[in-house]
Structure formats: structure tokens, C-alpha cells
Chain A
Amino acid sequence: MNPSHSILLIAIASGITFLIRALPFLVFKKRQMPAFIKEIADKLPPAIIAVLVIYCLKSPLTVFGTETIAASIAIAGVVILHIRKRNTLLSVAAGTILYMIFIRCLS
């Protein structure tokens, strides 16, 4: 690990993140938003977060083993609990604890 390279990477990620967040303010400073862009904008979040879920699960999905079983159980727990209670904190905490218990018990 090279500290100055790490700082460069953090600066790049920070700058781009800010620009992304600022983009709509720059684009629509004076103009109206086209309806078509707004329609896509409304639909993208669930699609992109779904890809991120797969990104998180990349190793349990490609290498079948303890992680696969633990992740399946934990996600089932998260989904059931969240549909019943709708409490983000509770669902995330319970899922993480379930996962941490099962990867230890199964290995």
C-alpha cells in the first residue's frame, strides 16, 4: 500500500461523488427537466440497488459453500423480518447477526 496513491484514489472518488450529486443542480439551474429523463430517473434506483445486491453476493454466488448457506438464511431472515416490521435498523442488525452466527456454526 502506497499512502499517496491511496490519497489520490480517495480524492478521485470524493470529487466524482460530489460532481454526481451536484449534476442535477448544474443541469437544471435554469432549464426544465425533460419528462423522459424523469421517468428513467424514477425507475433506476431499484434496478441499480439490485445490481449492488448481486455485487455484495458475488463470492457466495460463484463459490458454493458456507457463505452461500449463511447468506441465504440471513437474506431470508432480513426479508421476512422487514416485511413484518419495516424497521431498517432491526432488519440490518438481525441479518448481520444471523450471518455472523451461521458462518461460524457451519465452518
Chain B
Amino acid sequence: MKKYIKYAFSRTLPVLFGYIFLGIAFGIVLQQAGFNFIWAFCISLFLYAGSMQFVLVPLLAASASPLTVAITTLFVNSRHVFYGLSFIESFKKMKTQLYMIFSLSDETYSVLCSCKNEDPEEKNRPAWFLINLFDQSYWIIGSVIGALLGQVLPFDFTGIDFSMTALFVVILLDQVLAHPKVASRCAVTGLLAGIICLFIFGTGNFLLPALIVTVLFVTAFTQAERRKELP
């Protein structure tokens, strides 16, 4: 057990700093919108989806309709559909399967991928549960600290939400650097669809159409590539 704790902690160390920092940013954003640390704790415990939590704050503040929240969640988090695909067989062998699925965030997914990559026989699989648990704990601790600090410190945190923008830029960049040809075309598709829809639909309504257009284009050029490969 001790060796698994050590393993999981060393694996999640980069996430520790990232999640505390981003969690604090989330807590502050949430607190500025009028929700205290209890809300931060509950959202990070039950929702536990970094980008969606940031997107949810203005929706909560504006008392958006349940349908808006449902559709926004569906589209903002749709990318998570694909994370499980890498772990279907592995998680099946775990008693904690449900929690593993629940807590498969972007960062946890990448940590588990690197663990699996260097340990194909999955001898350290018992430590995976701890990896997921530690990651979520960092995120909860960060968001509670943020919500509390925002109330206590007389410091102007304007602009701290830029950490989310920076994180997305970094994740995007990592994917483009890893697969320059395919990922850069997908990235350009997403950026263009986003900008064009932003100017057509305006800031309040463009996310949904932009994601739909993007998915359609990616599907279309995947299909075109397949046709080209056929004799």
C-alpha cells in the first residue's frame, strides 16, 4: 500500500501544483459571482470537470435554464467521451471502476496514459485509484482555498481566470506538437469555426453552433480521407 501511495503521489505531483492553482482560480471566480466555499467544495466534489466548472459560473450567476446547462455541459464535456476508450479493459478489472470513470479528467487521463505506456502489464494498476483520488483532492482543496481567499484577502484578483485560457492553449499546443499534421488541421478548424460563429451568433450563443460545425467538419474530412484511401 505504501509503495502505491508513493507511486501515485510522484505521478500526480505536476497535477498537484496545476490543480491547486487552477482550483484557487475557480474558487475566486465562483466567489466573485456570489457563491461561497461550500459551493466550491460541492461543485468540485460532484461535478469535477475543470473547464465546465468555469463555464458554469456565469450560468449559475444568471440562473440559466436547466436546458441551457444540459446542452452546454453536453458540448463542453463531449470530449470526455473519448477518454474512456483507452481504459475500457483496464477499468473493468477494478473494483473502483465507477469512481475511475467519474474522475477521468483531462489531466488524470494523461497521467494514466503515461502510467499505462511505461507499465503495459499494469502491475501498478492498484495505484491508479489513488492517482484519481489525489488529483480530485488537489482540485477540491484548491477551489475551497480560492473561495475562502477571495473573501479574506483584500487583493484584486482580476484576470486570474486567464489561467483557464492559458491551460487550454497549453493543452492545444501539446496536441499539435505531438501530432503536427492531423492535430494542427483540427485546431485550425476549431479556431476558425469558433471565430466565425462568434461574429455570427455573438458572445452569448456561439459555443454550441461552433462545436457542432467543428464536429461536422472533422467528421467530413475523416470521411474524405477514408474515401481517398479506398482503391
Instruction: Spell out A's residues near B (CB within 8 Å).
Output: 1-2, 5-6, 8-14, 16-18, 20-25, 28, 33, 36, 38-59, 61-62, 70-71, 74-75, 78-79, 82-83, 86, 88-89, 91-93, 95-96, 99-100, 103-104
Q: Are A24 and B82 interface neighbours, CB within 8 A?
A: yes
- Interface size for B (C-beta < 8 A) is 95
Residues of B within 8 Å of A8, CB to CB, are: 66
Q: Quick one: which of A8, A39, A48, A58 has the most chain B CB within 10 A?
A: A48
Residues of A within 8 Å of B219, CB to CB, are: 40
Give me 19 other A-B pairs in contact (C-beta within 8 A), A51-B211, A86-B174, A104-B158 excluded.
A14-B47, A16-B70, A16-B77, A24-B81, A25-B84, A28-B88, A39-B226, A40-B222, A43-B222, A44-B79, A47-B218, A48-B190, A52-B168, A53-B168, A54-B190, A56-B168, A79-B173, A89-B18, A92-B170
A81 to B131, CA, bound (A): 28
A91 to B18, CA, bound (A): 10
Is B183 on the interface with A (CB-CB < 8 A)?
yes
Is B113 on the interface with A (CB-CB < 8 A)?
no
Interface segment among B52-60, B118-126, B140-148: the answer is B52-60
Q: Are B43 and A46 interface neighbours, CB within 8 A?
A: no
B181 CB to closest chain A CB (Å) equals 11
Given that A40-B219, A44-B186 are contacting pairs, would A21 and B84 also be in contact in the complex, using a CB cutoff of 8 Å? Answer: yes
Cβ-closest chain B residue relative to A99? B162
A24 CB to closest chain B CB (Å) equals 4
Q: Are B47 and A20 interface neighbours, CB within 8 A?
A: no
Q: Quick one: which of A1, A14, A39 has the most chain B CB within 10 A?
A: A14
Per DSSP, are chain B's interface residues mostly helix, strand or loop, or mixed?
A: helix
Q: Are B158 and A100 interface neighbours, CB within 8 A?
A: yes
Q: Are A78 and B76 interface neighbours, CB within 8 A?
A: no
Q: Are A103 and B158 interface neighbours, CB within 8 A?
A: yes
Instruction: Spell out B's residues near A (CB within 8 Å).
Output: 14, 17-18, 21-22, 25, 34-35, 39, 42-43, 46-49, 51-52, 55-56, 59-61, 63-64, 66, 69-70, 73-74, 76-85, 88, 91-92, 97, 101-102, 104, 158-160, 162-177, 179, 182-184, 186-191, 193-195, 198-199, 202-203, 206-207, 210-211, 214-215, 217-219, 222-223, 225-226
Q: Are A13 and B52 interface neighbours, CB within 8 A?
A: yes
- B167 in complex: contacting residue of A17, A25, A50, A88, CB < 8 Å: A88
A50 to B210, CA, bound (A): 10
Cβ-closest chain B residue relative to A75? B169
- B186 in complex: contacting residue of A47, A57, A88, CB < 8 Å: A47
